[in-house]
Amino acid sequence: MRIPFICSLLCLAACGNSEEKLQKFAQPSEAAAERGRDVTLVYSDSAIITARVEAPVLLRYTGEKPKTEMPEGIRASFYNSAGQANSWLTANRAIQFPSEGITETHGNVVVVNELGDTLYTEKLIWVEKEDRIYTDTYVRIVRPGEIIFGDGLESNQQFTKYKILNIKGTIALNEGVE
């Protein structure tokens, strides 16, 4: 009779938790309201497709500040008024804030326009309603004949009209070398 009683006391003593640990456990964690795999999002304006975004994983969160996360990367195509893709974007991950009309892309962000100009950066923000992309981080732009380095960039969504905010340097390239 003594052995089961002692074992019970030892088990109760071993199961103790601090009040702080219990509070952390009791608080609800943010969980995705919707999950999707191999998702394609299509954006349009007046029935004309403006962008198509593909993501291997999509997590949609509801709450005070709804957001959609694409934690395993994205591929986006942007279209002109004739419905032709004229710029492309890839990134390691993205977070969209639908109420603000803003999508942040992070990690190995690459944008290519129809002329072949290529932007490399680690962070890029797409303001959907303004047809605009920008960053305040390091950028490298490779275009025919030169490479431009700088900090910060503002551009239209198609990456055809862009301005580097703080040019750090330019390298002229020989024909055929990139």
**How does pLDDT run along the chain (178 residues), one tens digit per residue?**
454 444 444 444 444 555 554 444 444 456 778 899 999 999 888 888 888 999 999 999 988 889 999 999 999 998 888 889 999 999 999 999 999 999 999 999 999 999 999 999 999 999 988 989 999 999 999 999 999 999 999 999 889 999 999 999 888 887 654 5
The reply to whether 17 falls in a domain is: no
CA 59 – CA 67 distance, rounded (Å): 8
The reply to whether 159 falls in a domain is: yes
The reply to whether 94 falls in a domain is: yes
Domain count across the chain? 1
pTM: 0.77
The reply to whether 93 falls in a domain is: yes
Residue 60 is encoded by which pair of tokens?
A: 């949609």
The reply to whether 138 falls in a domain is: yes
Q: What CATH number should be reported for the domain holding residue 57?
A: 2.60.450.10
The reply to whether 77 falls in a domain is: yes
Using a 10 angstrom Cβ sphere, with 0-12 exposed, 13-18 middle and 19 or more buried, the burial of residue 31 is: exposed
- Backbone phi, psi, residue 154, to 5°: -130, 140
The reply to whether 89 falls in a domain is: yes
CA 32 – CA 58 distance, rounded (Å): 9
**What is the extent of the structural domain holding 136?**
30-172
Contacts of 36 by beta carbon, 8 Å cutoff, 6+ apart: 57, 58, 60
The reply to whether 25 falls in a domain is: no
